[in-house]
Amino acid sequence: MGEQAQKAGEFADGWLAGVRRVPSPNFDARPPGTAVELVVVHAISLPPDCFGGPGIEQLFTNCLDPAAHPYYAAIHALRVSAHFLIRRDGEVTQFVSVDERAWHAGASCWQGRERCNDFSVGIELEGCDSLPFEAVQYRRLADLIASLKAAYPIREVTGHEHIAPGRKTDPGPCFDWERLQALLAGRAPA
């Protein structure tokens, strides 16, 4: 199906129709025969605890200027990405096709399976450990997960903190898992 004929919420070659695309070079092929079974929710803000700037997109596209902020000097050479980013205002950006392996989870383990990047989708929420997420972010996240579940054999949604305990804390203590579950089950108002 051609991209223009796609409906919002549908995937073509792993790219979701109706969202902004900013292709990242930080991806590779999933292992042959590996199904996408897990959604990993992350939180990111660049600079830390600041929202709305270009830092996240620059990090995921290897364009982060180490002189733009003191924190960037330590991270500008990282080669990381996520499949999706949901901004504070609800804008969704896709960086990597879901059919490819984004570099978001690092050293990780889910139900005894290591290397979660192999079989997961990484969704970054613009946020931090100390502030609540926006209502629109939960709605967009639930919609995105529903679209993913319709196209891929997703079995579970988890946080980066759950697959890399002791190493990662995101999406953090301010993320409301019950709210997300209620939205996914259709029990919460949009």
Q: Is 178 a catalytic residue?
A: no
The string over 147-160, giving b where at least 16 C-beta atoms fall within 10 Å of a residue's C-beta and e elsewhere, is bbeebbebeebbbb
Q: How far apart are CA 67 and CA 79, in angstroms?
A: 18
Start-to-end C-alpha separation, the chain: 30
Catalytic residue among 37, 91, 114, 124: 124
| Cβ-based neighbours of 18, under 8 Å, separated by 6 or more | 6, 7, 8, 9
Nearest alpha-carbon partner for 152 in 74, 97, 81, 77: 97
Q: How far apart are CA 144 and CA 180, in angstroms?
A: 12
Q: How far apart are CA 94 and CA 20, in angstroms?
A: 6
Q: Which residues belong to the active site?
A: 124
